[in-house]
Amino acid sequence: MIRRILAACLVFLTLALTAQAQDRTIQDVLQEHAEAIVKSSRTTIGPAIEAVANSGQPSAQTVLQKWQNKDMWQWSENGFFYAATVAGSDVTLTDFDTGETVAIVSKGDVTQLKPNSGIRAMIGAALVQFQLNDPDAERRREALLAIQRDGEASHLAPLRASIENEDNPEIKALKEVTERLLTISFDKDDARRIAAIKGFTSSLSLDARAALNPVLSAKLVYAEDLPETANIKREIKPGSEALSVRDAFALMVSAGAATAQPTISERKSALSEHIVDGKVGGIPVTELISQEARDHAYQALASEGFVAAFDPAFSMEAAVKGVRFAEVYDEPSAAVTDAAQETLHTINRAVGFNQFLDLSLDGLSLASIYFLAAIGLAITFGVMGVINMAHGEFIMMGAYTGYVVQQIIPDYTVSILVAIPMAFALTFAAGVAMERLIIRWLYNRPLETLLATFGVSIALQQIAKNIFGTQARPLTSPGWLDGALVFNDVLAISYIRIAIFVLALVFLGIFLFIMKKTRLGLETRAVTQNPRMAASMGINPDRVNMLTFGLGSGIAGVAGVAIGLYAKVTSEMGTDYIVQSFMTVVVGGVGNIWGTLLGALGIGFLQKGIEWFNPSNTLAAQTYMIIFIIIFIQFRPKGIIALKGRAAGD
């Protein structure tokens, strides 16, 4: 109704605007409709609002806003309407046209206009056209977004009218999208709706999906007496996944096509209501321990007319067999639903593709985290062959270092920059100490190394718990790492993940540089391959082992800072990563950093892939991933990249 009037008024507006604007004030318009305005009834107020909105007066928007906010008062002296501000018992009246204060009167002389919520909504709809044509582009955008969120049929006409005069191309595009969304939801003309629906082909916008899904809403019905005109989505066989036999029968019952049989529990309560002297229908209660006996007793009751009839031979399967059931669209027009279906199909394909990209990004960032956690281990385990079960605790130490530094230095950016070398230094020292005190004595005893370092691991874990408590500590990332890089509604990646990815690459570079280009790397490789020969060449294997182990531990500490930004810092965080880290190194192939990289990528992508099949259950994903790894190791016990020859050690 309003829409039609609005449209009519718009036509009228264009014709008569200039003529009217010069010799009329907004007060005249208000006075023309004074009776309706004062009466403030929803049924009669329409023309008044239209008249104000389409008066072409510059103050029309103000009037509507004041009116809507209950700030418009009528002065009883002349019956004019004014904007008013109340201070104590005085009311200051301001003229709409001139903006000047007319008078200050006492409350008794003026009447406040109090439009009810229905009228306020009508005024709000009339205001939309002003917002859509507001000179401030930002306001127009806000109005459009508000319409997208919460559109109404009445918005359609002013929106369409405002598109043509829009000069900002970005907002014009937004207006066109919004117009299509509203058309899909509210237009009465099918051809227009279909055109609007087709406009969203391959669109990724959430709003497009939100607008299309209600068009395609369908419900299951009993289809035997369905009218010819019904827009049937598909026929459904009862007993299929979409419609169970029980539900199908319930549909038949509610359509009046079948009579419901008393259910098992109804029959049972009927039986218990008719117990006479320990007997029901002539059968002793103690014998009612099977369903057959109960049915028998119930039939006896039914034949005496005490309870509703029950047919023991009845089966729901037989009742629903051969009966038509269908899924019927709420939308009557088949052309519209077909177009929507088709468009939704293209949208789903586009969304699926972008979800795949998004999943790949997720997999990549998970792989970066695994790689970060494992790269220290790639040195201590991969290169030196030392099983360090306390590796996870070095990660934890690094994360706690970051936390402590943040307590001292409040600026997050500076504190992270300080924390990284601090964490490296601390865990380097811890690693060197551990190598000198424990691992040195066990170089030929890998199993004992495993157990001894495990002892260190539980001790470190408990010490951390004693110092920092069991509560998770936050390691806050700097502000510039907040938020996410958004490509579209589906594809986004948070900056912190990008940072971790970059950090992983940096570590890879550092590792390669140290191993291939520095003296330490050369000596490490020499000592790993043949310690005695290396010693004969003047290399001190003790010192090299110590430094290498320290380096691996130090990198674990830095990784701890990065992981702490991403996950919570607890004393048990190391245990979350230790098995995965070993897996990464073993799957990749011991002694080769590229193998570790491949292992991390493989495990990261695999885990995300499995999660995609069953998104609600990350535990299951981890379980299946580990099983997959166990099977993988069956076929490539030496990992993806296996060392060959003497370096392999066998």
Contacting positions for other proteins (CB under 8 A)? 268, 271-272, 275, 280, 285-286, 288-291, 294, 387, 389, 438, 441-442, 444-448, 450-452, 454-463, 465-466, 575, 579, 582-583, 586, 617, 619-620, 622-623, 626-627, 629-631, 633-635, 637
C-beta atoms surrounding 118 within 10 Å: 12
Distance of CA 607 to the CA centre of its chain: 20
Please list the alpha-helical segments (H only) found in 133-166: 137-149, 156-163
Structure tokens at 574: 């190391």
* Closer residue to other proteins, CB minimum distance, 283 or 472: 283
Please list the alpha-helical segments (H only) found in 24-77: 26-32, 34-39, 46-53, 60-68
Radius of gyration of the chain (CA): 38
Buried b (16+ CB within 10 A) or exposed e, 182-207: bbbbbbeeeeebbebbebbeebbbeb
CA nearest to 125, candidates 188, 184, 202, 182 = 182
- Least distance to other proteins, CB of residue 289, Å: 5
* Closer residue to other proteins, CB minimum distance, 98 or 617: 617
The single-letter DSSP state of residue 478 is: P
* Amino acid (one-letter) located at 107: K
* Closer residue to other proteins, CB minimum distance, 341 or 575: 575
- Least distance to other proteins, CB of residue 177, Å: 42
- Least distance to other proteins, CB of residue 287, Å: 8
The single-letter DSSP state of residue 476 is: P
- Least distance to other proteins, CB of residue 447, Å: 5
Return d(Cα 402, Cα 372) in angstroms, integer.
16
* Closer residue to other proteins, CB minimum distance, 71 or 576: 576
Buried b (16+ CB within 10 A) or exposed e, 487-508: eeebbebbebbbbbbebbeebb
* Closer residue to other proteins, CB minimum distance, 140 or 294: 294
Q: Dihedral, CA atoms, 218, 220, 224, 228, nearest 10 degrees?
A: 0
- Least distance to other proteins, CB of residue 157, Å: 50
* Closer residue to other proteins, CB minimum distance, 446 or 483: 446
* Closer residue to other proteins, CB minimum distance, 87 or 619: 619
- Least distance to other proteins, CB of residue 638, Å: 9
- Least distance to other proteins, CB of residue 592, Å: 15
- Least distance to other proteins, CB of residue 464, Å: 10
CA nearest to 216, candidates 339, 340, 100 = 340
* Closer residue to other proteins, CB minimum distance, 243 or 585: 585
